[in-house]
Amino acid sequence: MRKWLQLFSRRRAVQQALAVAPRLAERPSITRAFRTSNHSRAQAHSHSHHSPSDIEKRIAQIPIERYRNFCIVAHVDHGKSTLSDRLLELTGTIQPGGNKQVLDKLDVERERGITVKAQTCSMIYNHKGDDYLLHLVDTPGHVDFRAEVSRSYVSSGGALLLVDASQGVQAQTVANFYLAFSQGLELIPVLNKVDLPHADAARSLEQMKDNFELEPEDAILVSAKTGWNVEAILPRVIENIPAPTGDPSKPLKLFLIDSWYSSFKGVVLLIRVFEGQIKAGDQVVSFGTGRKYTVGEVGIQYPDQVPQSVLRAGQVGYVYFNPSMRKTQEAKLGDTYTKVGFERQVQPLPGFEEPKPMVFVAAFPVDQDDFEHLEDSINQLLLNDRSVTIQKEASHALGAGFRLGFLGTLHCSVFEDRLRGEHGASIIITPPTVPFQIKYRDGREVTITNPAEFPEGDHTKRDIAELREPYVMATLTFPEEYLGRVIEICEANRGEQKSLEYFTATQVILKYEMPLAQLVDDFFGKLKSSTKGYATLDYEEAEWRESSIVKLQLLVNKEPVDAVSRVLHQSQVRHVGKQWVEKFKEHVDRQMFEVVIQAAVGRQVIARESIKPFRKDVLAKLHASDISRRRKLLEKQKEGRKKLKAVGNVVIDHSAFQAFLAK
Ligand SMILES: Nc1nc2c(ncn2[C@@H]2O[C@H](COP(=O)(O)OP(=O)(O)OP(=O)(O)O)[C@@H](O)[C@H]2O)c(=O)[nH]1
């Protein structure tokens, strides 16, 4: 269990709790934060051998040459968090054992067993009689969170490349390896889970050599779970990973790694000091926004926040401003800060391109009266995830809602889970879509993220020079026996094989270029089910490619159901169109008249189904004098009206949309 992560993600647990109940008045939420905060302080004492002033005194004695900043690069579940725990115990930062406090982990992280947000922790380690200050940054394994991953790499001098000896190199090991390698990180191979009976260290070492040119004799074999040989790691960190460079007497140069919102203290910044030093009372300025702030508190994560009087060049720690930043949006990740007055003397770090959202869904409240509630909860979730984009959207069939943009499929489904966690059945979420580019003959280039904006009709088509869709490079790893099935799936999803690597033992690494649109269409689900769960997948954006894409629409009695329209490749139109009409038919009740359901591209009807009318009008059978019965019927109808969506003259229950839009 990840005790240290839990400790400082407790603050996030509070936000999580708040996000789940956004209507909680501010007062109770503050009380909760207080309680949590005091509680976590108490925990800090029981977890750490050192008092805050001891820590400060010891750190003050450590020169920058004895700092080491490092992270752990690994595939999901290979044991990063377990190993982090062991390292923190070894250095006395936390005490061994302790309670497993399930509540403290960000809910989705716990449920899915993945780390979403990068976390950091400082440790003091005595090696051959000298104290060393170590900063461990725990990075997310999934490359959807590539931006977070690369920011943690920038703040590190090296990384432990951690591989589960029973599974060997997996898709994210490969992807994260290249990311770390391209940032010039010093890598130390570590083979974990050697206690497992089916661990195959020799094979994994061979894979590491083949893939990453890492020598087997350099690898450290450990069991993070039992703690076996973990003590061999930190001496290697000290010997192999270079100390950060920086001069505490130079003007301040500070890099923003991450930020999050604490309802107790406002926006917290996780930073790395590159040059100079920072302390409470300093006036600082952001190169990204030009805004100025006064520093309220600085400190280190140990693993709780431990205030320090100063943070020096080479250190990784946290900063609060006073008054605090109001919104996390002000904190541009990858931004550089300096002291006011030194703007001209300091060259900002290159920073990061803001990642662009590539996967979109629309979310609508079933009952329009819930619109504000939905807006509140989305905004709460956005406080801690500024990479989600949001736009209001209106649909004839579903009313007012939001279009949300995400970095990738996992990012999207994690957010969706949180939203559903709160709204359950009272929210309709459309299946994920990807952006498309339109190049017009007059030279204009437009990227559209909403199928409703996709041009229709022949007159607009004449103006279009080219349509493009995004492609990704997918890396898949799986046991050799599934090769045939996996290739079939990739080909069926318009994939193009780029490389196929075999290992003497049974693992295959396959690379395919394929449209992102196919990947978001439950590609991973299909892959998992045909490999008994053994396949791993990772992908990176490749390029925009010209493509014959069209807009498919669902029509009910000739009226388009805008929420259901989708842009897709010509080759899929028939298959999807047929599926749509058959599925929608199942969910629409009989009406007094015939209902015709069609799937169409422009004026061309691709598929058609119809629902026969009632044979007799039920209401008409009622006697005119049967007033009370008639009133009851009308009242019932009124109640129901909220839940009903009218498309043209056809009234459709919201559950029809829900069932239809659900996968
Ligand atoms: N047998 C055995 N199990 C281990 C070892 N290390 C970790 N595990 C188990 O492997 C699972 C995943 O470990 P985590 O530490 O959560 O993995 P992680 O890499 O942090 O996962 P993410 O945070 O999702 O990237 C847990 O059930 C651990 O108990 C080990 O050395 N031996």
Higher per-residue pLDDT: 170 or 491: 491
Nearest C-alpha neighbor of 559 from the set 600, 527, 619, 531? 600
Amino acid at site 81:
S
More confident residue, 534 or 567: 567
Q: How confident is the model at residue 625 (pLDDT cuts 50, 70, 90)?
A: low
| pLDDT (0 to 100) of residue 649 | 65
Nearest CA to ligand 1 atom 29: 225
Confidence of residue 130 (pLDDT cuts 50, 70, 90): very high
Bridge-based pairing state of the strands 67-74 and 158-164: parallel
In the chain, the amino acid numbered 6 is Q
Atom of ligand 1 nearest to the CA of 113: 24
With a 6 A CB cut-off, is 78 part of the ligand 1 pocket? Answer: yes
Ligand 1 within 6 A of 225 CB?
A: yes
Highest mean pLDDT among 89-103, 159-173, 378-392, 588-602 belongs to: 159-173
Regarding the beta carbon of 113 and ligand 1, being less than 6 Å apart is answered: yes
Q: Which of 140-149, 479-488, 609-618 has the lowest mean pLDDT?
A: 140-149
CA of 651 to the centre of ligand 1 (A): 51
Alpha carbons within 13 A on the beta-carbon side of 474 = 31
Query: Which residues line the annotated binding site?
Result: 74-81, 138-142, 192-195
Q: Across the strands, what pairs with 373?
A: none
- Is residue 148 scored above 70 in pLDDT? no
Is the confidence at residue 357, as pLDDT, over 70? yes
Strands (E), 13-141: 67-74, 119-127, 130-138
Q: Around Cβ 497, how many Cβ atoms within 10 Å?
A: 13
Mutate to test the pocket of ligand 1, among 9, 71, 82 (most ligand atoms within 8 A of CB): 82
Write down the residue that tokens 């992280």 correspond to: 109
Q: Cβ(435) to ligand 1 under 6 A?
A: no
Cβ–ligand 1 contact at 196 (below 6 Å): yes
What pLDDT is recorded for position 97? 66
Phi and psi angles of residue 448, each rounded to the nearest 5 degrees, phi first = -115, 140
- So what's the pLDDT on residue 149? 66
DSSP β-bridge partners for residue 406 = 359
When comparing pLDDT for 52 and 266, which is higher? 266
Percent of the chain with pLDDT over 90: 37
Count of residues making up the chain:
663
Q: How does residue 648 score in pLDDT terms, banded at 50, 70 and 90?
A: low
Indicate the top mutation candidate among 225, 228, 538 to test ligand 1's pocket, ranked by most ligand atoms within 8 A of CB: 225
Pocket test for ligand 1, best of 77, 105, 166 (most atoms within 8 A of CB): 77
Is it the case that residue 222 has pLDDT exceeding 90? Answer: yes
Residue 453's pLDDT is 85
**pLDDT at residue 353, as a whole number:** 62
Per-chain mean pLDDT for the chain: 79
pLDDT of residue 20: 26
β-strand partners of 550: 568
Measuring CA to CA, which residue among 248, 311, 289 is closest to residue 122?
A: 311
Q: Calculate the alpha carbon distances from 592 to 162, 587, 627 in Å.
A: 65, 16, 22
Provide mean pLDDT across the span 430-454: 90
- pLDDT at position 663, please? 54
Q: What is the DSSP string of 473-513?
A: EEEEEEEGGGHHHHHHHHHHTT-EEEEEEE-SSSEEEEEEE
Ligand 1: which atom is nearest the Cα of residue 196?
A: 1
